[in-house]
Amino acid sequence: MNLTTRPPVTASPASPPPQAAIPHRLRGRLVALRVDAAESLHATDKSVVLAGRWHGKPIVVKLLVTDDPYWVQRFNDEQARYARLNVTPPPVRIARLLHAEEGLTILQRLPGTRLGNARYPDTVAADKVAQLLDTLDQLHSWRPGPGVLGDPQPITESQLVRHTASGQLTTADLTAVTGLLERMRRDGVGTRPEHGDVLAANVLAAVDGPAGLVDLEHLGRHTPGIDWALLYLLLGPGAPAVRPLVLQQVTRQEMQVPFALNLMLLACREWSIHHGWGGEPWETTRPTLRGNLEHARDYLHAIAAANGLHA
């Protein structure tokens, strides 16, 4: 994950970005394609996501409503990723791409119920988290051929510079992170498939069987542990049972070092994103964000000490 780029479109429900109207051209394309899209699932100033039916099948339609070149490229990249996944699907439940054209994507709609709608849900059922961890384990074990997931996105020094400059990483934190990053590289820890954005809203829990994963914009080859770190930070505050389950996975796979790095950097990112929103959303989430930073910092320094690194 490259944390030096713009943050994901996903926003906190407490601070939704302004919603944009669907451009006339895209409305015309929906009519021409005979898409019956009657339900709005999500809307920002960048994209609108609708649910409906197409040729009698349940679908999700994603519409790009900005002409900003950055988001146009992101949208195009996501379409290309879904097309590659149609050819080389992962061993988990994801939506198939049904149709793609400029600014418009039609996907299969997966059955299931969202784990939650908020970025920091108040509660999540432990059995559904266990179901999700099993699904992620299958994804993380997947070994697709070259090019399916694009270029690797490991942790880089530029991320450390950013969070040090913004004040989230202290001198002691930076020493620990730098030392663990060097240790991880010496040990040959590379990248693996990770969803990269496992918000509760991006997980569809099933009555039984594997969870479904949606919003694959950030699916790629990342430093191991991004998915676990996000679950720990986003679901952990409202569902304390999540954290022991995550740590069991980390320990079982002996991924303490990459997990510690991801946990610290993502806690810093969450602080920066919410601080940028300011106002009531910032004041509401600040205690949670501070608690997450403290958890991440404690874990980071414990792992650094266990590896013979001292500030």
Question: Three-state SS for 264?
Answer: helix
In this predicted structure, what is the pLDDT of residue 279? 63
Lookup: tokens for 13:
């429900």
In this predicted structure, what is the pLDDT of residue 22? 85
Lookup: tokens for 134:
């099993």
CA angle 20, 22, 23 (to 5 degrees): 110
DSSP result, 73-93: HHHHHHHHHHHHHHHS--SSE
For residue 215, give every residue at least 6 positions away whose Cβ sits within 8 Å of its Cβ, in sequence order, or none: 10, 197, 199, 201, 202
Expressed in angstroms, the distance from the first to the final Cα of the chain is 26
| Residue count of the chain | 311
What tens digit of pLDDT does each residue of 203-227 get?
999 888 899 999 999 999 999 999 9
Residue 17 clears pLDDT 60, i.e. is over it: no
Beta bridge partners of 205: 113
Q: Which helix (H) or strand (E) holds 60?
A: strand 57-64
Whether residue 22 contacts residue 65, with contact meaning beta carbons closer than 8 Å, is answered with yes
Residue 277 clears pLDDT 70, i.e. is over it: no
Q: Which whole number is the average pLDDT over 93-116?
A: 96
State the helix-helix crossing angle for 242-252 and 256-277, rounded to 10 degrees: 140
Give me the phi and psi of 222, to 5 degrees please.
-120, 165
Which amino acid is present at 266?
L
Residue 274 binned pLDDT confidence (cut-offs 50, 70, 90): confident
Q: What percent of the chain has pLDDT over 90?
A: 75
Residue 133 binned pLDDT confidence (cut-offs 50, 70, 90): very high
Residue 183 clears pLDDT 90, i.e. is over it: yes
- The correct CATH number of 114-306 out of 3.90.1200.10, 3.30.980.10, 1.10.10.60, 1.20.120.640 is 3.90.1200.10
The topology (CATH level 3) of 24-110 is Phosphorylase Kinase; domain 1 (3.30.200)
Q: What percent of the chain has pLDDT over 70?
A: 92
- Domain residue limits, the chain: 24-110, 114-306
Residue 15 clears pLDDT 50, i.e. is over it: no
Distance, in Å, from the CA atom of 28 to the CA atom of 20, rounded to the nearest integer, reads 17
- Per DSSP, 200 falls in state G
Lookup: tokens for 5:
């780029």
In this predicted structure, what is the pLDDT of residue 275? 81
Q: Which whole number is the average pLDDT over 257-264?
A: 97
SS3 content of the chain, % helix, strand, coil (to 5): 45, 15, 40
Residue 125 clears pLDDT 80, i.e. is over it: yes
Residue 20 clears pLDDT 70, i.e. is over it: no
Q: Which whole number is the average pLDDT over 60-76?
A: 96
301: nearest Cα among 194, 172, 196 = 172
What tens digit of pLDDT does each residue of 148-177 get?
999 999 998 888 888 888 788 999 999 999
Residue 292 clears pLDDT 90, i.e. is over it: yes
